[in-house]
Structure 1
Amino acid sequence: MADRKPDLDRQDIVPEQEDEDTQAQTVTDDAFDKTVDEGLGDSEKDTSGLDEFDAPDLVDRMKQMNSSGLIDMGAYDGEETTDDLENKYGARNAADDEFAEDDS
């Protein structure tokens, strides 16, 4: 029987297939272990004087929504909603007044 040299690389392991860190289940498990606040550090404010300094930036808005539990839907003001359960989100968001009380 031929002597096998122990220092040779194994041929049954292909480095391109060793991608456990990028698999969906691994990424999902990592996400469950983190809190939302970890990604929302303090943001840099623009000090050039071109914009109003007190204006909240995106990170400030995200922190505020995260702490209050309310999502700012201001970007959709004036848009028609096509949700079947309009009453679930309040009569203000009803696409048509006659369906404002309909929660079917």
Structure 2
Amino acid sequence: MTDKTDLAPEVHNSEQDDESTQAQSVAERAGELRQQLRSPTESTKSPNESDLLGDSTQDLVDHMRDMESSGRIDMDAFRGEPAHDDDESLYRPSARPEDDS
């Protein structure tokens, strides 16, 4: 058997010395951690000692996570605002923007 000291320096890859930082080791640890954690779209709230808001009350983060998980964007914040579309023929004449020229 050959002694490691007899091998050429090119045979040793120093980038692989620390196995714990190798991609496959990091991926295995991440996979184990993912199984232990809950879904990223689940709401986690701190204990509410005042009992003014129950755990079922939807907050902004819950609303954003709902939009993310459903793929539907809530556009209610823009209700009543003009939709500035490039195709003005879509508007009825009374709703068309005035020409500034």
TM-score, normalised to structure 2's length? 0.37
Computing the radius of gyration over CA atoms, which structure comes out larger, 1 or 2? 2
TM, length-normalised to structure 1: 0.36
Bigger relative contact order, structure 1 or 2, given CA contacts below 8 A and separation 6+?
2
